[in-house]
Structure 1
Amino acid sequence: MRILVTNDDGIFSEGIYQLAKAFMSIGEVIVVAPNKEQSATGHSITLHRPLRVSKVKFFDTPIEAHAIDGTPVDCVKVAVEAILKDRRPDLVVSGINNGPNLGTDVIYSGTVSAAVEAAILEIPSIAVSMASTKIDTFQDAAEFTCRITKSIHQLTRSKVGIININYPTCRKESISGVKVTTLGVRRYENSLIERKDPRGDSYYWISGKAMELQQSEDSDVIAVRNNYISITPIHFDLTHFKDYDDLKKIKFEA
């Protein structure tokens, strides 16, 4: 199996190192990732300047690695369509993200967007994140993802699926188990912080604290809150089929 590993925290982050190292045990690993942090870039791509690609030494491993001065989606596109055009990956794994990608936050996530881009290119993919930024180790999450990949790949291969994993940051012995989940809802309070520059003009930081919202019991948010590893199947078809059916009943005139 040939595995493309990417992320949004940058090619020299601890999460991608542990993930790529774990996957060496099951296949050929190639790392193509941003040369600096690209968190919350969503599904953006770079159109108005060239992308620079640099081959780099990937920590203490023999893994082939390339750093790109672009977004995670750029990395997947360049990897599949250029760097690996004659060595198409069987699987794309994105992560391990330094923090959660739960619920509706997946729309903003560079980590998840890299996995979505892989699916658009008809390659099965996995996005994996830590369920909190209070992280002692990425190793357990990396080993878990690697361990379940064979089962997930058999499921997703025919459907070109995307799997979103969030791994608890509690002690390994405190993990409650594994749950297959739905996407919850994430919203933030005080998400814009206004400040003044020396000229008295306003500028803003986008920040904020996640709100405690009512969630479905089968949501990823509830699962990780209770120390479960969350596994959520997602897809990029945003069609609202209920509204589609309702709109089909209306006679529109051009």
Structure 2
Amino acid sequence: MPSTPHLSRRFGRVLLTNDDGINAPGLELLAELAADIADEVWVVAPEKDQSGMSRAVTLTTPLRVEERGPRRYALTGTPSDCAIFALRHLLKDNPPDIVLSGINRGANVGDEVPYSGTVAAALTARLLGVPAIAFSQAFTRGGQVRWDTARTLLPRALDHALSLRTASNVVLNVNFPDLDASDVSDVVVTRQSRGTLDRIDVEPRTDMRGGTYYWMAFRRHMPILGPDTDAGALKHGLVSITPIGFDMTAPDGIA
């Protein structure tokens, strides 16, 4: 891939959020990069890891917020809660130009996209009228996350995403491959792939007192996919940008 260009557009105010939590390294990196493209960077993120929360909204428990620094807030809620709190309370009189969600630790592609709190926060922001983009960095389980890849390629991917003409109800889901930035060949627009989730298991285990507890575990399957799909693009060494919408209608069901 050619050298990373400087972003051609600058923003007055940007809101950042995620699902990995306020202390996540991906959010710290996103804030670092956002400072180069915005006059003001606001952060509203979950106080703890909220991965897999999808579009959950807290309706029966009060939320609390803690200021962690200038324009930086930790919320006792989900990623969607964070977007709502920021856009309908904290910044309601001065809304941001765009919401950036991530950078997630792990890819958000294929069948697992609906479970992603990172993508859900972006969708919630779009539902509330603010453009939004979600970012995720793929990595191999047990291996190191290549944050330097996201650091190098995010400006180019963001510039590409902003150049796209998309419908007003679309969110862009950006995924960086698990490669060094120098080995990534291009940024491409893709569709969401299918067949990447084999099953979800429940794993019982025993604690030190003899009690039983459980882990939920995704069992993944990687079919042969072309570079026109999100998961396939990552396998082909490409940055994937997938337009995500709200319509969950199954065309086959209508037929």
1:220 pairs with one of 216, 225, 230:
230
Give the structure 2 partner of residue 163 of structure 1.
172
Question: 1:191 and 2:201 equivalent?
Answer: yes
1:17 match: 28
In structure 2, what is the equivalent of residue 49 of structure 1? 61
Summarize the Cα distance change of 1:34–1:156 in structure 2 as closer, same or farther, 3 Å threshold. farther
CA offsets per residue over residues 47-71 of structure 1, 9 Å max, x none? 11110011103xxxxx510100100
Alignment of 1:1-254 (within 5 A): 1=11, 2-27=13-38, 28-57=40-69, 64-133=71-140, 134-153=143-162, 155=164, 159-185=168-194, 186-189=196-199, 191-195=201-205, 203-241=213-251, 243-244=253-254, 246=255
- CA RMSD in angstroms, aligned pairs only: 2.4
Distance 1:190 1:150 in 2: 36
Q: What secondary structure, in the 3-state scheme, does the structure 2 residue paired with 1:12 have?
A: coil
Deviation string 1:160-203 (CA, Å, 9 cap, x unpaired) is 42111110121121112222111112213572223357898865
**1:79–1:85 contact (8 Å) kept in structure 2:** yes
**Which residue type is aligned with residue 221 of structure 1?**
A
Indicate how the Cα distance of structure 1 residues 156 and 3 shifts in structure 2: closer, same or farther if over 3 A, else same: farther
Distance (whole Å) between structure 2 residues aligned to residue 195 and residue 181 of structure 1: 39
One-letter amino acid of the counterpart of residue 10, structure 1: G
TM-score (norm 1): 0.85
Change (3 A) 1:108 1:123: same
Mapped to 1, the partners of 2:96 and 2:103 lie a distance apart of 19
CA–CA separation in structure 1 for the residues paired with 2:201 and 2:166: 39
Q: In the aligned structure 2, how far is the partner of 1:117 from the partner of 1:12? A: 22
Report the Cα offset of residue 3 of structure 1: 1.0
Partners of 2:162 and 2:228 in 1: CA distance? 23
| Partner SS state of residue 81, structure 1 | helix
On the 8 A contact 1:123/1:160 being kept in 2, the answer is: no
Cα distance change of structure 1 residues 91 and 196 upon mapping to structure 2, 3 Å threshold: same
Residues 197/171 of structure 1: CA separation in 2 closer, same or farther (3 Å cut):
closer
TM-superposed CA distance for 1:143, in Å, is 4.7
Count of aligned pairs between the two proteins: 240
User: Does structure 2 conserve the Cα–Cα contact (< 8 Å) formed by 1:22 and 1:143?
Assistant: no
What is the DSSP-based 3-state SS (H/G/I as helix, E as strand, rest coil) of the residue aligned with 1:231? Answer: strand
TM-score, normalization by structure 2: 0.85
Distance 2:239 2:160 in 1: 16
Do the aligned partners of residues 216 and 147 (structure 1) sit closer, same or farther apart at CA in structure 2, a change above 3 Å counting? Answer: closer
Q: Percent identity?
A: 38
Where in structure 2 are there 5+ consecutive unaligned residues?
Answer: 1-10
Unaligned runs of 5+ in 1: 58-62, 247-254
**Aligned-partner residue type, residue 165 of structure 1:** V
Alpha-carbon distance between aligned partners in 1 of 2:226 and 2:177, rounded to the nearest angstrom = 19
Q: Which moved more, 1:129-138 or 1:174-183?
A: 129-138
